[in-house]
Structure 1
Amino acid sequence: MSMRNNSRVIGLLGRALELEMEAAQQHATRATLASLWGQQSLAEQLTRLSDEEMGHADLVTRQMLLLGFAPPALSLAPVRPGRDPEELLALARTKEWETVRFYEDAANWFRRFQPDETGALFAHLFNEELGHVRQIGG
């Protein structure tokens, strides 16, 4: 079965795009909230994370297009901003860990069954998301 027709690959890339877009939206919303709370440093940190997540979404979209299929329509999870800076960061850490686990599983699947450039992308994103966890203190 070619990469182009592999429903597992298409599904993994679709989920990756969903996770990245959700993270970008969550971080952007939380950055605005932090700014409203007068937490400029936190707001700037979250804005950088949102921008990085959009960059990840671009990488995933590019890989989809290279494999010959268009990104799917997405249904994003509702934003959970938090009631204070501590809860905001706890929610961000939870979401980042969810994404780390997803990329770890996906990278392992590719390593076992289909080592290729898409697998390398998942391994790269796994490391990037681990970096995000460290940035937000997780």
Structure 2
Amino acid sequence: MNNYILCLFLLNKGSKVREIYEQYNSIALAENTLVMRRSVGINEYVCKRYENAVTVFIKLLSEPDPRTTLMADICLVRAMLALDMNDRAKEIADMGFGRYVGMGDITAEVNRLRLKMNSAGKPQRSGGKKKKK
């Protein structure tokens, strides 16, 4: 169940994540594992409690077993971008996003996040024409 929640989150299906989390809360939270904590962090993000999500994902990244913290860096970067923590998000992405090459939808999400980080802080161009004098 927890991996299903992660997959939906990575595919930007936030409303479906919320629905599944609420419906199967007892299953998702059945045991106190790192994978369960990842689901809690995703739920915090979906509920727009980004500070809580960042805290959960940072704690996950400090765990020694990379199998249980899989893709927590993607979740963390997404939460940081929601809080306009662009510089810190870039640091996290530079440390771990290189391992997501050739992974289909995951690679696409990583590329989307990189694009969002690179465009953050740049002035937006208006689509209108310049006035002639």
State the TM-score, normalizing by the size of structure 1.
Answer: 0.34
Q: Which has the higher contact order (CA 8 A, sep 6+)?
A: 1
Larger radius of gyration: 2
